[in-house]
Structure 1
Amino acid sequence: MTVASMSGSSGNLQTGERKITYFSNAYVLGLTVIAGIGGLLFGYDTGVISGALLYIREEFEEVDKSSFLQETIVSMAIVGAMIGAAAGGWINDIYGRKRATLAADVIFALGSVVMAAAPDPYILIIGRLLVGLGVGVASVTAPVYIAEAAPSEIRGGLVGTNVLMITGGQFLSYLVNLAFTEVPGTWRWMLGVSGVPAVVQFCLMLFMPESPRWLYMKKDKAQAIVVLSKIYDPLRLEEEIDQLAFALEEERLRKNAVSYWDIFRVKEIRLAFIAGAGLQAFQQFCGINTVMYYSPTIVQMAGFGSNRLALILSLIVAAMNAIGSIAGIYLIDHFGRRKLALTSLFGVIVSLLILAAAFCLQASDVTNGVYGWVAVLGLALYISFFAPGMGPVPWTVNSEIYPQSYRGICGGMSATVNWVSNLIVAQSFLTIAELLGTGVTFLIIAGIAMLAFVFVSLYLPETKGLSFEEVERIWKERAWGSQYGSEPLLAGGNP
């Protein structure tokens, strides 16, 4: 089979006469859910600290008196995630996706024990750092592992399942927060329970295969084919193996070993990385984890003083986030990545403007009643628009736009950009809100969302339904023109 015939057929392939759908292969779906527990850890840690922080402030007076210390407790997990994501790309490429996942589970479980037993805020910060390391590795590994086992027709939906697990973890964390509000050692239980899914994933992952693409390209072609045979029927299996053989041959044509410098030196990889890293940065600067880390605090800023009421309203926001992620699983492979991101960003901009207006008007309203509810409505609208689009799109795009040999390190660097952006937002939100006011802070975030809309409009190509090889060809053509589309990737031209 020629490369041209693969390119022409892969966007609309079927297995025999049976169209491939999200639920058509229980093996792939099970693999996706187990790998997605890494996303659950990610989401739980993001959500749980928002409620736990209310009770940490009550137990430790120095935390209650210092916005900086509160921000540090929240953001230290993000510092760990930055380190974990940066190292995770390298671990993925050298040791494989499965071992990377197992390592992340061990680190996360250890961190949860340290947090639960912390005698002071500073040991708690160390536990947050450990948990962040595990989350960082998992944030790189899970999308790539799922994408490399997924048929191209449903790759977006399956990678989107990982995002559903993230939002599901956030929702679960709010349920746990609410359940432990009246229990002695409230915040310790909230943080300690996070180790349970890590242990569960570790045990289940022992029985899961390595990524078939990683096996084929790095280690064991025969074992890779065994795994692929559980995913595809014979006709499609032959075509997938042909594509892997072609990709492996291209890897052999590369003159230099894979290096971080190539990401900036080689034009087509650089273009892909700008798209992937840009999406990850805008995902965070559009404020999603400001909402998820501080939603109870924001609700209290809106005039609802009770801890329990703040958690209940935040639980509703988290539920809408999870429901939106379910919609995203369907939309991302039917509507497309680019259109979905643009629609999502438009709604995010409108929602942030409503939030900004509510807080600005509330400042001059002594009753603090109506505008508080408008702020909660703005939060709900924000989540409704963000969750189906800018939630899954950055992770899906980053799992599919890089060449095989660069997928780990580019994915790791891009995830690091996400966590760095996350850190900046988490570490600065309360301080900026105190200096400028909450309304002005949300107005700034709305301006950033407008820039994100322009970025996606001008820079992001549509990758719906394309094979990895076809996606690579898009960047080569953008870098060197359509005349390079039929040449081996990275074989021609100079940066």
Structure 2
Amino acid sequence: MEGGVHPLPDTSAFRDCFALTWKNPYVLRLAFSAGIGGLLFGYDTGVISGALLYIRDDFKAVDRHTVLQESIVSMAVAGAIIGAAVGGWANDRHGRRSALLAADFLFFIGAVIMAASPGPATLIVGRVFVGLGVGMASMTSPLYISEASPAKIRGALVSTNNFLITFGQFLSYLINLAFTKVPGTWRWMLGVAGLPALLQFSLMIFLPESPRWLFRKGREEEAKAILRKIYPAEDVETEIQDLKDSIDKEIREEGTSEKINFRKLWQTKTVRRGLIAGVGLQVFQQFVGINTVMYYSPTIVQLAGFASNQTALLLSLVTAGLNAFGSILSIYFIDRTGRKKLLLISLFGVAVSLGLLAGIFHREWYTRGCPSKFGWLALIGLGLYIISFSPGMGTAPWIVNSEIYPLRFRGVCGGIAATANWISNLIVAQTFLSLTEAIGTDMTFLLFGIVSVVGFFFVIVFVPETKGLPIEEVEKMLELRPLQYKFWEKKKRPEGTMEEEEKLDKKNQGV
């Protein structure tokens, strides 16, 4: 890409990622153990959509007041805002592994409180605890995976975290269906989340800290031992030297995120450019309306004319399955197509499907639970939306944010971006039902569609391509280019690049 070191087109990353199963299972173990945080993230954000149907049945006040419904859903998001903000500090001060262990503890406590809730108020308290865990895990899991992955397959491995998020949402719908006839319905749905939290806590106790965090803290020998397990023998010394050079540069600049000066952070060119791209992506991810679908998909299905709770849950399971399938597509394409192109393709599809949904809901056929022969059109629109969103906007913002910041600021900047994501999430979750009542479902979807068009142009201008770049080289790329719209052009690599890449550069000079 213009303005920085660019990788060759790589079609083998997907194959190499799965070859780790027998070549280097250690890397895969790190990725999937940390990725359970994504599973919990997905489960706890998805399970409420089905549980809410039964909570309304048990607590009539919740059924009567839309604000209570929105609060039960969105208080987890409010907790996630705090969790993401605290998580950024905790990641830099105490390490990625410690932050994940703290998140597991919060997940478990929240699950127990929710399962035992005697009323809406206690339920909301439990949702806040779960939200704290979600916020910490949402930024820590991809960061840990990113820092413990070889550059060539980093995108695919971080995408496994996003697959586990979507699988967690799919699993939550399966659990919802499994407990529809069981006494206590929603209590079981919400309480089951404590089990994967215990599993991850048990696994992470025996796993190492991020090697890059250890290097930053002066624990070089520990870091080198882990890097030697992650990288092939012929690559590991180069990786160690690149990391050492990066740390030496940071020390010379006296940069640290433990005693962070936010004014100085913003004045640092590479950090500012990274934050504009990273925070912008996280905000657009939410304001194109994804979590209205994930939190309220059964309610949307009922708006489309399917009255039964069980039918609504079953149809919503299809959207969750499409979301998980889209994450698998991301694992295949993210290191092949690149982050930026995948984002643009995704946003184009999202804009088209939201326009379709706005047109479908424009008619007066849709009132909650009223049968309609046109309801299937709304389901097609939802399906198109999910399959467009999931491979690009669903995964790439988290991947870019795990790659784009200098090491000394990676925790705090990741926390800022994740906090922006959850604040945007809260705004959307807290206003969706009220918006549909105030301006109609059709105009609400149209509003999200307009935002997705704006997001499309934002990606063209401000988001760099980080595919295949060693994390230490991303900073060099940001130093050279403030705007990223000519991302299809390529320049020469510095001295020391492989001969075949130099030949490709010479060929592209005339483009």
Q: 2:346 aligns with which of 338, 344, 347?
A: 344
Q: 2:19 aligns with which of 11, 23, 41?
A: 23
Q: Quick one: distance in 2 between partners of 1:168 and 1:132?
A: 18
Secondary structure of the corresponding residue to residue 462 of structure 1: coil
- The Cα offsets for residues 91-135 of structure 1, whole Å up to 9 and x where unpaired, read as 000000111110110111001000000101000000000000011
Q: Is the 8 A contact 1:10 1:152 kept in 2?
A: no
2:399 corresponds to 1:400: no
Residue 329 of structure 1 corresponds to 331
Residue 446 of structure 1 corresponds to 449
Q: Is the 8 A contact 1:337 1:462 kept in 2?
A: yes
Q: How does 1:384-423 map to 2 (within 5 A)?
A: 384-423=387-426
TM-score (norm 1): 0.92
How far residue 235 of structure 1 moved from its aligned partner, in angstroms, is 1.6
Q: Which residue identity does 2:19 align to in structure 1?
A: F
Q: Is the 8 A contact 1:181 1:308 kept in 2?
A: yes
- The Cα offsets for residues 369-397 of structure 1, whole Å up to 9 and x where unpaired, read as 34311101000111111111111100000
Secondary structure of the corresponding residue to residue 77 of structure 1: helix
2:434 corresponds to 1:431: yes
Q: How does 1:96-495 map to 2 (within 5 A)?
A: 96-255=95-254, 257-258=256-257, 259=260, 260-363=262-365, 369-479=372-482
Q: Quick one: distance in 2 between partners of 1:101 and 1:371?
A: 45
CA distance change for structure 1 residues 220 and 109 in 2, over 3 Å: closer, same or farther?
same
Report how many aligned residue pairs link the two structures.
Answer: 474
Q: Quick one: distance in 1 between partners of 2:205 and 2:9?
A: 34
CA distance change for structure 1 residues 434 and 317 in 2, over 3 Å: closer, same or farther?
same
Q: Which residue identity does 2:198 align to in structure 1?
A: V
CA distance change for structure 1 residues 298 and 473 in 2, over 3 Å: closer, same or farther?
same
Q: Percent identity?
A: 56
Secondary structure of the corresponding residue to residue 230 of structure 1: helix
Q: Quick one: distance in 2 between partners of 1:22 and 1:242?
A: 27
Q: Quick one: distance in 2 between partners of 1:255 and 1:27?
A: 34
How far residue 368 of structure 1 moved from its aligned partner, in angstroms, is 5.5
How far residue 459 of structure 1 moved from its aligned partner, in angstroms, is 1.2
How far residue 353 of structure 1 moved from its aligned partner, in angstroms, is 1.0
Q: Quick one: distance in 1 between partners of 2:416 and 2:309?
A: 38
Q: Which residue identity does 2:92 align to in structure 1?
A: D
Q: Is the 8 A contact 2:6 2:469 kept in 1?
A: no
Q: Is the 8 A contact 1:268 1:478 kept in 2?
A: no
How far residue 20 of structure 1 moved from its aligned partner, in angstroms, is 4.8
Q: Quick one: distance in 1 between partners of 2:53 and 2:67?
A: 15
- The Cα offsets for residues 245-303 of structure 1, whole Å up to 9 and x where unpaired, read as 10111111113543233332222211110100000000011111110000000000001
Q: Is the 8 A contact 1:154 1:465 kept in 2?
A: yes
Q: Is the 8 A contact 2:63 2:69 kept in 1?
A: yes
CA distance change for structure 1 residues 424 and 233 in 2, over 3 Å: closer, same or farther?
same
CA distance change for structure 1 residues 364 and 303 in 2, over 3 Å: closer, same or farther?
closer
Q: Which residue identity does 1:58 align to in structure 2?
A: D
Q: Is the 8 A contact 1:12 1:153 kept in 2?
A: no
Q: Quick one: distance in 2 between partners of 1:179 and 1:480?
A: 50
Q: Which residue identity does 1:478 align to in structure 2?
A: R
How far residue 233 of structure 1 moved from its aligned partner, in angstroms, is 2.0
Q: Which residue identity does 2:354 align to in structure 1?
A: L
Q: Is the 8 A contact 1:351 1:379 kept in 2?
A: yes
Bigger mean CA offset, 67-76 vs 213-222: 213-222
Residue 506 of structure 2 corresponds to none
Structure 2: gaps (5+ residues): 485-492, 495-511
CA distance change for structure 1 residues 213 and 22 in 2, over 3 Å: closer, same or farther?
farther
- The Cα offsets for residues 327-355 of structure 1, whole Å up to 9 and x where unpaired, read as 10110000000000000111111111111
Q: Quick one: distance in 2 between partners of 1:33 and 1:290?
A: 28
Q: CA RMSD in A?
A: 2.2
Q: Which residue identity does 1:463 align to in structure 2?
A: T
Q: Quick one: distance in 2 between partners of 1:255 and 1:406?
A: 12
Q: Quick one: distance in 2 between partners of 1:119 and 1:241?
A: 55
Q: Which residue identity does 1:149 align to in structure 2?
A: A
CA distance change for structure 1 residues 322 and 479 in 2, over 3 Å: closer, same or farther?
closer
Q: Which residue identity does 2:147 align to in structure 1?
A: E
